Chain A
Amino acid sequence: MHTLRAERLTKRYRRRAALVDCDLAVPSGHIVGLVGPNGAGKSTLLQLACGLIAPTSGTLEVLGARPAAGAAHLGRVGFVAQDTPVYPSFSVADHLRMGAWLNPAWDAALAERRIAEVGLDPAQKAGRLSGGQRAQLALTIAAAKRPELLIFDEPAAALDPLARDAFLRSLVGFVGELGASAVLSSHLLGDVEQVCDYLIVLGAGRVQVAGPVRQLLADHRYTTLEQLVLAYMSGAVAR
């Protein structure tokens, strides 16, 4: 089964085309890095994948079904949105309660253990958490419903280096513990290099290249991910 499978996927906002004729077939079991310059369509692709927006044309399947196809499918995909929104007036514990109310497969033990591990006070109001703590909370909520796929839209972009490192380690920990796949967009190549084993490079609304990191590096005789990505990005710009 494929984590993501797109055929001629296109999304236009009024005048601007955010994604044009994207074809993708990402096998499951990977941590996928989605990279590209600002405005390349990374957020659009991930919002399509969790059903927040609908494609203009073409198809996208997530875990073999239309995104957000129903309660059961929603339960199989965990999504951490950009800027990791939480309810400011809810405490950390309220958020875990919300997760339990809204997800049949909620793993309360996992959620509580992780909250304790990252040092969050359950009584703390979410509106008073730091950016890093909020991201950890959002990650815990997404993971404790035990999804098969975790999607992250620029999760660490606004975090300081220390918080970012802690967040990425939590992310990898969750993915390992759940046996899930993950897709993570970022414009920070270092993050991608650190955690991803599969790469999608988007540029100007199109897929520039996609494949397992190791294979891409071998095929193109680049030694680092950065060289590879920059080569494709500059190619995209020149086109």
Chain B
Amino acid sequence: MIRMSLRQFRLSALAGAVLLTLATVYLLRLGGATHAARLPADHHQTMLFLAGGSGLVPAFIGAFWGAPLIARELETGTHRLVWNQSVPRRRWLAVKLAVVGLASMAAAGLLSAALTWAATPVDQATGDRFSTVMFGARGIAPIGYAAFGFVLGAVTGLLLRRTLATMALVFLAVIAVQVAVPNLLRPHYLPPERATVAMTADAINRARMLGGITGGPIIGGLEMPDAWITSTSRLRTADGRVLSDAAFDTCFSHAPQTGATGTFGDIAVCLGRLDLHVDLAYQPNRRFWPFQWIELALYLGAAALLVAVGRWRIRRGTFS
């Protein structure tokens, strides 16, 4: 059954191998450049772009390696041929999932290793590898994403029995999960540490965002050395209350002119005089590897659950 799975996987494996080789060659050349660079932080934009791209890898694996694996057999009726050889259906499923699943994890692992290596000087310069975007493009977590994306594709195909519909659905679903997990789950893997930071004019000017769409006293994109900030309170006054919208708006729209420079200029000066602070929740950077392991375990666990669904379905389903 292993040889059969390999034979059926041959063409898509070849396509995957070509893309993987191209990507690896590119990353090795990039790594040469970053390791030789005098200012590795100059490559930060490239790293952001690559992190976004590597987020698509599990979606492609799910859509192109996972989705057709079983859906195509059911769609073309070849399950009626292969299930009547001397291999029970559950073993057939187990071997198919194992062969292509391991290939998916190996491919993702190789890509991640190359990207992690290429990014090392940049990460050291910027201290950014624990951030929401970068974390998933480093270390071992991508192996979990690949396993999950692949199994999601294969099992959805078993349930839907339509190759194209499964491909489209799985591609979108994997991306949705990749957006949801870093924002909703990852901040809570371990209890965050908390800190109160005074919002002086200087501190405010280091933020990337000030004021919400609705005009509230919101500040965003603060940075903290050696930590990933997972939540930021609104601007608070010395007595701990949230700064009133009116007071915030006064500074935001009618700040007295002082000729100050900096990102937010007079606004920052005006707010800085109000003795404000924010409460932060953050994960210190030393938790990077524990978080990598937790994330890997989470995605592998989800993949294992999906495999159980597939085993149950293939035993109980009606496949005429």
A residues lining the B interface (CB < 8 Å): 13, 43-44, 47, 50-54, 68, 70-72, 74-75, 77-79, 81, 83, 85-90, 94, 97-99, 101-105, 138, 141-142, 145
Interface locus among B1-9, B122-130, B245-253, B286-294: B1-9
Contact A101 B3 (CB under 8 A): yes
When A and B form their complex, what is the total count of cross-chain residue pairs whose Cβ atoms lie within 8 Å?
A: 78
* B190 at the binding interface (Cβ < 8 Å): no
Contacts of B316 in A (CB 8 A): 54
8 Å CB contact of B88 from A13, A53, A68, A94: A68
Beyond A68-B88, A79-B84, whether A102 also contacts B76 by CB under 8 A is no
Near A by CB (< 8 A), chain B positions 6-24 give 7-8, 11
Contacts of A101 in B (CB 8 A): 1, 3-4
> Measured between alpha carbons, how far is A86 from B91 in the docked complex, in Å?
20
Contacts of B86 in A (CB 8 A): 71-72, 74-75, 102-105, 145
B residues lining the A interface (CB < 8 Å): 1, 3-4, 7-8, 11, 76-78, 80-89, 91, 316, 318-320
- Among B11, B77, B83, B320, the one with the most A-chain Cβ atoms within 10 Å of its Cβ is B320
4 smallest CB-CB distances across A and B, nearest first, come from A102-B85, A75-B86, A81-B80, A85-B77
Contacts of B82 in A (CB 8 A): 98, 102
- Among A50, A72, A98, the one with the most B-chain Cβ atoms within 10 Å of its Cβ is A98
> Measured between alpha carbons, how far is A86 from B80 in the docked complex, in Å?
9
B72 CB, min distance to chain A CBs, angstroms = 10
> Measured between alpha carbons, how far is A22 from B88 in the docked complex, in Å?
27
Beyond A52-B319, A94-B7, A101-B4, whether A74 also contacts B88 by CB under 8 A is yes
Contacts of B85 in A (CB 8 A): 74, 98-99, 102-103, 145
> Measured between alpha carbons, how far is A74 from B91 in the docked complex, in Å?
13
B319 CB, min distance to chain A CBs, angstroms = 5
Contacts of B320 in A (CB 8 A): 43-44, 47, 52-53
* Chain B residue nearest to A72 in the complex (CB): B86
Contacts of A70 in B (CB 8 A): 88
23 contacts between A and B (CB under 8 A): A44-B320, A52-B83, A53-B318, A68-B88, A70-B88, A71-B88, A74-B84, A74-B86, A74-B88, A78-B84, A81-B80, A81-B84, A83-B77, A85-B76, A86-B78, A86-B81, A87-B81, A94-B7, A97-B7, A102-B4, A102-B82, A102-B85, A103-B86
